[in-house]
Amino acid sequence: MSEQLLEQPLQQFLGALSSGTPTPGGGAVAALGGAMAASLLAMVCNLTIGKQQYAEFEDEARALLGRAEALRAELQTLAQADVDVFDHLSAAYKLPRVTDADAASRRAAIQKITREATVVPLRVARAATALLPLCAPLARHGNRNAVSDVGVAVLMVRAAVPAALLNVEINLAALEDQIFVRQTRAQAEDLALGLDEEVEGVLALVRERIAS
């Protein structure tokens, strides 16, 4: 894929995603799901800042906006990184394996890039998880008209984290370095821990505020 992911119009991106080419794929979707969550949280901050009735929350909303924008930038970069690493991986699988030396260097290249293909989604899961602490304060004190958007954001986080971790897992399965596999799997398990409870807590706040 020559064109940069984020420069693609949505329609074209969805077409490329549907096609039988390896990229973009689920890893990019996980990162973009996280980026959409970050964007929605930034929007709720922007709809809160400068409004008289939310003046007491203004300083916190500004701080949360900075955090949401930083995580959005990171998740956008990771979406592109996911596409890049899979393009490299496809290229590595196409390396020659006629001689034993060829085969050995092809195998080393595949191992090296597959390792990278676990690192990128792990960073996606970590960045998406880092959005969670922004959700509860915005659900409680942000612009009430946008509280459903906080709910959508936290639902996208709940999708993006395990989606990224599935990509970690499928690539770990192809790795030979069992120490790296065990270490990475432990980090992935830590990230998944307590996610559902935290998401349910935010959703309860959102539903309460919609009903109030």
Whichever of 95 and 159 has its CB closer to its own copies, that residue is 159
> What's the closest the beta carbon of residue 146 comes to its own copies, in angstroms?
7
Whichever of 120 and 146 has its CB closer to its own copies, that residue is 146
CB 34 within 8 A of CB 157: yes
3-state SS of 20-80? CCCCCCHHHHHHHHHHHHHHHHHHHHHHHCCCHHHHHHHHHHHHHHHHHHHHHHHHHHHHH
131/75 Cα distance (integer angstroms): 11
148/203 Cα distance (integer angstroms): 9
CB 106 within 8 A of CB 97: yes
Whichever of 83 and 126 has its CB closer to its own copies, that residue is 83
How distant, in Å, are the alpha carbons of 29, 92, 93, 105, 109 from that of 99?
38, 16, 15, 10, 15
Whichever of 103 and 173 has its CB closer to its own copies, that residue is 173
> What's the closest the beta carbon of residue 100 comes to its own copies, in angstroms?
26
> What's the closest the beta carbon of residue 75 comes to its own copies, in angstroms?
9
> What's the closest the beta carbon of residue 23 comes to its own copies, in angstroms?
10
Whichever of 75 and 126 has its CB closer to its own copies, that residue is 75
Token digits for 36? 């959409």
> What's the closest the beta carbon of residue 140 comes to its own copies, in angstroms?
16
Residues in contact with its own copies by the rule CB under 8 A: 5-11, 13-15, 17-20, 22, 25-27, 29-30, 32-33, 35-36, 38-40, 42-43, 46-47, 49, 68-69, 72, 76, 146-149, 151-153, 155-156, 158-159, 162-163, 166-167, 169-170, 173, 203, 206-207, 210-211
Whichever of 47 and 100 has its CB closer to its own copies, that residue is 47
Q: How far apart are the first and last CA of the chain?
A: 49
> What's the closest the beta carbon of residue 193 comes to its own copies, in angstroms?
17
